[in-house]
Structure 1
Amino acid sequence: MTSLMLASEIVKRPVVTLAGEVVAQVKDIVFDGAEGCLTGFTLNGCGLFSGPLGHALPWSGVTALGSHAVVIRDETVFEQASVVTDRDRAGGGDVLGARLLTDVGTDLGKVIDVVIGVTMSTQPSARVVGCRITSTEALGHHQRPVFVPLPATMAVSDELLLVPAAASEFITEELPGFATALQGFRARLQEA
């Protein structure tokens, strides 16, 4: 089963070992923009005056990503931060603030959050499946936040995400209705 989470809700989530020890806090999410998959997390220490840690958590070290914590077996799964963040080189960096543009040149809006589909099974995965944008007049929701489904692969840079024009037909204003919109959008892409 896949659950949907906003990237902004994962940031600051505690990282907990299977022994119940809180060992870090999620600082940022690292993903491969071309493939749309989450590759890991940069970390902050725990406590009032803790800052960024020199190590990071690769996705392969995650046992569970729940609504309240990221669970790991133990701290041996951590890698050097530079190793985990270097995997981001194809991703184009931070997409927050980037424009969402259709392949026919319509500016849909500015990205304010990312929707992640998390599947915890024998092969756990976390993929970017959508984004939350502040919409433009082109969508008829001017300046209101809306959710837009994304294709499995797309062009991504620091300034721009390029999506098929059909994405604008599957926009929702609430996250609970987003799963249905995403399914319809992906089905439409397969028909084309």
Structure 2
Amino acid sequence: MNAPAVIPTETLPALIDKATQALDSARTSAEVLEARDFARTAYDAAKSAGRIAKAKQAHDSIISEVHRAQGHALSIRARAEIRLADEYDAAQERGEVAKAGANQHEVVVSANDLGLRRDEIHEARKFRDAEKASPNAVSSAIENIIERGEEPTRAALRRSVLAAVDDAKRVAEYRIGVQS
């Protein structure tokens, strides 16, 4: 196969136009061969572009499915943490778990004994409060992240849900201020 001496850097339509013009203006067999080589280059470029597009589409489809699975797992984790916050608060009310500021020696179990850190309980409560303020806040936040084509990470969910909670608080404060 004879390839052109210089590989063109033009776009695909420009390559096709060049091959067409070369063939239309060819006066000698050498010019016809050159037009054929331009056509081969255009064909190879088109075929390559097709393969790349197909691979990209497959890649995008796979990434989308991975993000959906990741979002589903993240939703389950958030729901578990919401339930954990409820259970932990109930255990505090029953005196089974230490309350913040309580004398740790009076209580049978502390958060550390359960394998939980205070920041984990605090974050779980934030998710729970967000769900109470706006049912399905976590699921909606995950869907929005995925729809934007972003990876549904824990940090992205936290930012999204907490931003929604902050917005809801501002609206509630505004309404209270307007009614006063």
- Structures share a fold, TM > 0.5? no
Q: Which has the higher helix share?
A: 2
- TM-score w.r.t. length of structure 1: 0.24
- Higher Rg of the two aligned structures: 2
